[in-house]
């Protein structure tokens, strides 16, 4: 019984990887670089995007918003002059706690790929499942806020190990917390040594310019990036 269950899970991940490659191919064809933005719920992904994309003078950005229900985040981003597309995992996808490659595939026809250079996918807030499902992204960026504690890299290693950049958010709150930043960085290095990291506050704007620069210096043509590893 146990072995059968493992096989089903493996098959599902294989199927996901195949669709993720098809998505990646379509994004490459359109010369769109794709970032999969992940975090726990409330780490600050949407506020970070609001802060980042407000009068952003870098590549032309589109956002794909993944939520279980509603369009709360898409509505927040709508005032910015960027195209925003919503996917809800509860409509037809069983209310999943993550985006998978098939959900992103279903959204591709609605994405203005000819009008953008960079697609940022805000994944569903969760530190476990999104890490297991590639969606066709070139880069994975995760947001870890200082209110979540220093131990998270050790508790959710796959998420931290598979990302290309860690944004440590809400640093404006550091004076009010007993969060030990050095301990967090040590734990991060145990799981993913030397992964690039930036200290930011989506609230005050501290560190946002460095993150914007990182976005501006991404290769504009996706095919210039290494093929994303499958899990």
Ligand X SMILES: Nc1nc2c(ncn2[C@@H]2O[C@H](COP(=O)(O)OP(=O)(O)O)[C@@H](O)[C@H]2O)c(=O)[nH]1
**Cβ closer to ligand X: 162 or 201?**
201
Distance (Å, whole) CA 89 – CA 85 = 13
Binding segment toward ligand X, per CB under 6 A, in 58-66, 105-113, 153-161, 165-173: 165-173
Asked if 46 interacts with Mg ion (CB under 5 A), we say yes
Question: Two tokens at 166?
Answer: 């860690």
Return the ∠ at Cα 145 (arms to 143 and 149), rounded to 5°.
125
Q: How far is CA 139 from the centre of its chain?
A: 8
* Position of minimal CB gap to ligand X: 44
Total residues in contact with ligand X, by rule CB under 6 A: 17
Distance (Å, whole) CA 172 – CA 8 = 45
Among ligand X, Mg ion, none, residue 169 binds (CB under 5-8 Å by kind):
ligand X
Candidate residues 19, 38, 40, 45; the one interacting with Mg ion per rule CB under 5 A:
45
Question: Two tokens at 128?
Answer: 């476990």
CB of 25 to ligand X, least distance (A): 29
Output helix, strand, coil percentages for the chain, rounded to the nearest 5: 45, 15, 40
Candidate residues 46, 86, 89, 126; the one interacting with ligand X per rule CB under 6 A:
46
Asked if 130 interacts with ligand X (CB under 6 A), we say no
Asked if 45 interacts with ligand X (CB under 6 A), we say yes
Asked if 170 interacts with ligand X (CB under 6 A), we say yes
- Helix/strand/coil (H/E/C) assignment for every residue in 49-91: HHHHHCCCCCCCEEEEEEECCCCHHHHHHCCCCCCEEEEECCC
Candidate residues 39, 88, 123, 144; the one interacting with ligand X per rule CB under 6 A:
39
Asked if 129 interacts with ligand X (CB under 6 A), we say no
**Cβ closer to ligand X: 74 or 135?**
74
Distance (Å, whole) CA 72 – CA 25 = 30
DSSP designation for 133 = -
**Cβ closer to ligand X: 16 or 62?**
62
Distance (Å, whole) CA 60 – CA 56 = 9
Distance (Å, whole) CA 152 – CA 181 = 12
**Cβ closer to ligand X: 41 or 219?**
41
Candidate residues 144, 201, 215, 222; the one interacting with ligand X per rule CB under 6 A:
201
Q: Which residues bind Mg ion (CB under 5 A)?
A: 45-46, 73
Q: Which residues bind ligand X (CB under 6 A)?
A: 39, 41-47, 73, 125, 169-170, 172-173, 201-203
């Amino acid at each position: 019984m146990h072995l059968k269950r493992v096989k089903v899970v493996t098959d599902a991940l294989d199927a996901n990887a195949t669709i993720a490659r098809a998505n990646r191919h379509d994004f490459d064809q359109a010369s769109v670089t794709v970032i999969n933005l992940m975090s726990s719920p409330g780490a600050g992904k949407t506020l970070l995007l609001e802060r980042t994309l407000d009068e952003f003078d870098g590549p032309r950005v589109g956002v794909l918003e993944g939520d279980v229900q509603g369009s709360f985040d898409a509505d927040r981003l709508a005032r910015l002059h960027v195209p925003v597309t919503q996917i809800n995992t509860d409509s037809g996808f069983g209310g999943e706690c993550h985006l998978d490659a098939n959900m992103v595939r279903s959204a591709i026809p609605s994405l203005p790929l000819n009008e953008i250079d960079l697609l940022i996918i805000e994944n569903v807030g969760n530190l476990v499942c999104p890490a297991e499902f590639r969606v066709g992204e070139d880069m994975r960026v995760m947001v870890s806020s200082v209110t979540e504690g220093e131990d998270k890299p050790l508790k959710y290693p796959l998420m931290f190990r598979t990302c290309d950049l860690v944004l440590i958010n809400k640093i404006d709150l550091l004076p009010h917390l007993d969060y030990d930043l050095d301990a967090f960085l040590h734990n991060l290095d145990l799981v993913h040594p030397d992964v690039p990291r930036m200290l930011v506050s989506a609230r005050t704007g501290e560190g946002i310019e460095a993150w914007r620069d990182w976005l501006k210096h991404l290769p504009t043509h996706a095919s210039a990036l290494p093929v994303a590893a499958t899990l």
